[in-house]
Homo-oligomer: A and B are copies of this chain.
Amino acid sequence: MDQTHDADLRIAHSPTKLRELAVDRLRQAIISGRFAGGSRLVERTLCDQLGVSRSVVREAIRYLEAEGLVETQGRSGPVVATLDWPRARQIYDIRRLLEAAAAAACATRADEGTKKRLRAALDALKLSFENGQPDRLLGATTHFYQVIFDAAGHDIAWEIVQRLNGRISRLRAITLATSDRSVSGHAHMQRICAAICAHDPEAAAAAVNDHLRDAAEIARISLEGQP
């Protein structure tokens, strides 16, 4: 029996569970700002909104708690996590370390396929800058960095970065779209792409560092309300 043909028939993905749908829906609602930072997530209300039982809601909340998007204060129920500048700064710092390392690794090992995907992601990113929809901008940026992390083989770091990005999602939308920057977000990513395609890990890491430092400064102004 030819093993190749067996593989074709394999059912690789199980049906999506209600729980998974609920987690995704809730995560999106938090990230999009529909549930603002500090707001209560009342289980029975969420049951009505999501159309599922409390079991599903509770399990979803446990996931999101572990991701840091939801906090459970001692004696009252779950609350959407809030974000102050000191914590945001930590998140930007960690991202800088992990993203710079991934860009450097990607620059070392990028093949033609990777470069092609990266340039395509950069084109899509340029379109979404022109388009002006923040969600598409976020999605395009995420995809750009995902290409880098995939090529670098940094799966676990990507998980961590995705989680951290979830926690600062509101900020990210603002910082990406901000036009009063000395160097645009798109220009930063062009530099990252160029350094990777030139197989220059140090330039790639430096470009990521610059990008994240800029973004962090805009975030700081946004959160602290003063330049």
Chain A interface residues toward B at CB < 8 A: 12-14, 55, 58-59, 62-63, 65-68, 74-75, 86-87, 90-91, 93-94, 97-98, 101, 153-157, 159-160, 164
Contact = CB atoms under 8 A, between A and B. Distances in A.
A91 B156 contact: yes
Contact of A66 (B55, B63, B94): B63
Contacts of A86: 153
Nearest to A159: B68
Given A63-B65, A63-B66, A90 B14 contact: no
B87 A93 contact: no
28 contacts: A12-B74, A14-B74, A14-B75, A55-B55, A55-B58, A59-B59, A62-B62, A62-B63, A62-B66, A63-B63, A63-B65, A63-B66, A66-B66, A66-B67, A68-B159, A86-B153, A87-B155, A87-B156, A90-B153, A90-B154, A90-B155, A90-B156, A91-B156, A93-B101, A94-B160, A97-B97, A97-B98, A97-B101
Contacts of A159: 68
Given A13-B74, A66-B66, A74-B14, A90 B59 contact: no
Nearest to A64: B66
A90 B159 CA distance: 12
Contacts of A14: 74-75
A155 B167 CA distance: 14
